[in-house]
Amino acid sequence: MIELRRLRALRELANRGTIAAAADALYLTPSAVSQQLAALEQQVGQPLLIPNGRTVRLTPAAEAVLGHADAVFSELERMDATLAALAGGDRGRVRIGSFATGIVGLVVPAVALVRERAPAVELSVQECESPEVFDLVARGELDLGISMESDTAPRHDDERFTRTALMRDLLDVALPEDHRLASESAVPLAALASEPFVAPPRGWSCEDVIRVGCAAAGFSPAVAHRSADWTAVMALVGAGLGVACVPRLAQDEPPPGVAIRPIAGEPPCRHLFIACRRGAEEHPALVAVVEALRTAASRAAAEPVGVHMHERKRERVREAAGSAARA
């Protein structure tokens, strides 16, 4: 019988490319991972790895083993979900990983819904970005990961995960309130081609969304300032240092001096989704949390841009905090 820990070692090697990286992901030494892979190779009876310079390459036998391994892992998750349902349903701890604005805009509003619909479910929340959030879900350190489509997200055919679509998080333009376009009801993105931009750090998923949106409008944004904090991004806009494209989930509290305007036409957006380990989507506690997140996302997506949106978002946060305090 092939041991699951050996299959996991092979899966991590396939995902990360080197034994050292697989060892880091599994919290083991490279020597321990090598021993597990050697033992698995003996059990399989065929070579699994081929030296490839300083790394290794998987053989067809290793690819075949991984195809079956993913199915095994999914069935184990499905078994846990079935046993959880037999033991009393939607109860237990659900660990959620999300980027910061997803926590504020989706997870926090979902808290009140979880308290109301599934009071026996306990939530644990961790801030993390892609691709780390998917690594943590795959390793079993998180149950749900909230992220967005990007180059660092797993492919749709990745057998390790089940996805649930959440929402299109539209981007709006943040302008200094005395900007020539601040009085417009909607701003064409092309009208900002000559403006200095305040943007997220290079490599961030949202930076890709902004860059692609500007390219569709016929220009490449001239980034003058960068920040990983959306409040700081908007504060720099308010100081007159540039303009920005800001997701609606990130517009919790625009600072003074900033005008938020919709982007005319088809605005750039973040496509948000939930990922969990395949098979785990049937766990009653996860079902309850996913449904609460979908409800929160539906409400967020339906709200128009403007001051009333921010007031309603703050009210939902207060409601969630009150619900948590009463629980």
pLDDT per position as a tens digit, 117-175: 999 999 999 999 898 999 899 888 899 999 999 888 988 888 889 999 999 999 999 99
Whether the Cβ atoms of residue 70 and residue 274 lie closer than 8 Å to each other: no
Short-list 85, 95, 93, 28, CA closest to 277: 95
The two three-digit tokens of residue 211, written as one number: 């860059």
Per-residue pLDDT tens digits of the chain, which is 327 residues long: 788 889 889 988 888 888 998 898 888 999 999 999 999 999 889 999 988 877 788 999 999 998 888 888 888 888 888 887 777 767 888 999 999 999 999 999 999 999 999 999 999 999 998 989 998 998 888 999 999 998 889 888 888 899 999 999 999 999 999 999 999 999 999 999 999 999 999 988 899 999 999 999 999 999 999 999 999 999 999 999 999 999 999 997 788 999 999 999 999 999 999 999 999 998 999 999 999 999 999 999 987 765 445 555 555 555 555 655 555
Q: CATH assignment of 88-167+271-326, given 3.20.20.70, 3.40.718.10, 3.40.50.620, 3.40.190.10?
A: 3.40.190.10
204-295-169 Cα angle (round to 5)? 30
First to last CA, the chain: 46
Q: Do 169-269 and 4-82 have the same topology in CATH?
A: no
For the chain, helix (H) and strand (E) counts, in that order, are 11, 11
Q: What is the pLDDT of residue 326?
A: 53
* Domain ranges (residues) in the chain: 4-82, 88-167+271-326, 169-269
- Label the pairing between strands 222-226 and 55-58: unpaired
Amino acid sitting at position 198 = V
100 close to 122: Cβ distance less than 8 angstroms: no
Calculate the CA dihedral of residues 295, 298, 303, 309 and round it to 10 degrees: 40
Question: Is the CATH number of domain 169-269 3.40.50.9100?
Answer: no
Closest residue by Cα to residue 288 from 93, 135, 104? 93
pLDDT in tens, 213-230: 999 999 999 999 999 999
**Interatomic CA distance for residues 86 and 107, integer angstroms:** 27
CATH 1.10.1240.10 fits 4-82, yes or no: no
